[in-house]
Amino acid sequence: MKSAPILLLAALAGSASASCPSSLPLQGALTIATCPPMKEGCVPAEQALHSYMQALPDAGDEVLRIGAHGSPWHLYGADYRILGIGQLAGMVRAQGGKIRRVLLLSSWSAVAPDRQRKALAQQLAQALGGMPVEGQDGFVWLDGKGGSYTTRQAASLFAAGPYAVEQGSPVMAALAAGWPAMLEAQFMQQKEAGALLRAGVGHEMFSLCPERALAAFEAAAALAEPVAAYNAAILRLERNARGDAQAARALLQKAAAQGDQPSAALLASLARNKKPEGK
């Protein structure tokens, strides 16, 4: 992924953007401290985030802490593929019967994105038969001392380009994964499929805009990025407007032809459970 010149910009989130209406409780602006990735003492934000996760205090044998990138709508796996609640519930069960509570350390996981959906933490609790699941009420931040907190800013001011921080400084998880969203036009011009996948993830988890995420995922899918095709298919199936189901199947067929097993499995599931399409 190629870097871009550093410049200050304001990134709007959720209801702060007319193209991304939202009922999320967003307010005010926040300046996010960054530093040049090549500067001594600075580390990539994703690297810092990983080390900070290791510094979190022990939650006990009966509590399972799950750290995942996410938005109010979805959780994402390590490869930036949308992770289903059923999949995550299966991972929890695989830990054995000693687990009594789940701490879901994922941005906005305790907040329902709209009236039609429950919060992700609530969905996971239901999938686990009522096991308590504690989610997060905003954008998640971690620091080098094992601390975590959330913010709910409607706008963020930061330096564009790869997100890096001074070692030990707080990291905003959504920006650590989502900064490529700010450089989508550059990645589109350069036809960088992997970077466009990351841009789509950023549009959802940082910009809080699934519609922009869908456009970026489909642009990456057109460049033969199978995970992006899978994500785009999920978004279209959930939206379920006229033509969405057909478009989702086409995306999954293309990804499956590239050998993407999750896409092939979802395509087969759709074939078994075909429903009327569109609104």
Cβ-Cβ contacts under 8 Å for 274 (sequence gap 6 or more)? none
Alpha carbon separation from 27 to 14, 34, 182, 206 (Å, rounded): 10, 22, 21, 15
Q: Which one-letter DSSP state was computed for residue 183?
A: G
What value does the CA radius of gyration of the chain take, rounded to a whole number of Å? 19
Q: Where are the domains of the chain?
A: 8-160+173-272
Return the amino acid letter for 25: P
Cβ-Cβ contacts under 8 Å for 68 (sequence gap 6 or more)? 75, 76, 77, 83, 88, 104, 105, 106
Pairing state between β 42-44 and 164-166: antiparallel
Report residue 193: phi and psi, to 5°.
Answer: -60, -45
Between CA 162 and CA 145 the distance in angstroms is 23
Per residue in 45-73, pLDDT tens? 999 999 999 899 888 889 999 999 999 99
CA dihedral 256→258→259→262, nearest 10 degrees, is -40
How confident is the model at residue 14, as a pLDDT?
A: 43
Between CA 170 and CA 144 the distance in angstroms is 7
Query: Could you tell me how many residues make up the chain?
Result: 279
How confident is the model at residue 19, as a pLDDT?
A: 62
Q: Are residues 84 and 127 in contact, defined by beta-carbon separation less than 8 angstroms?
A: no
Alpha carbon separation from 143 to 38, 53, 69 (Å, rounded): 20, 9, 16
Per residue in 185-227, pLDDT tens? 999 999 999 999 999 999 999 999 999 999 999 999 999 999 9
Task: Report the candidate in 240, 220, 238, 221 with the shortest Cα–Cα distance to residue 72.
Answer: 238
How confident is the model at residue 10, as a pLDDT?
A: 47
Cβ-Cβ contacts under 8 Å for 20 (sequence gap 6 or more)? 12, 14, 207, 208, 209, 211, 212
How confident is the model at residue 7, as a pLDDT?
A: 41
Two tokens, residue 87:
């999949």
Residues in the chain predicted with pLDDT less than 50, given as ranges, are 1-10, 14-16, 276-279
Two tokens, residue 70:
């996410």
Compute the half-sphere exposure of residue 170: CA atoms within 13 Å on the CB side of its CA. Answer: 14
Compute the half-sphere exposure of residue 185: CA atoms within 13 Å on the CB side of its CA. Answer: 2
Return the amino acid letter for 95: Q
Q: How many CB atoms lie within 10 A of CB 66?
A: 17
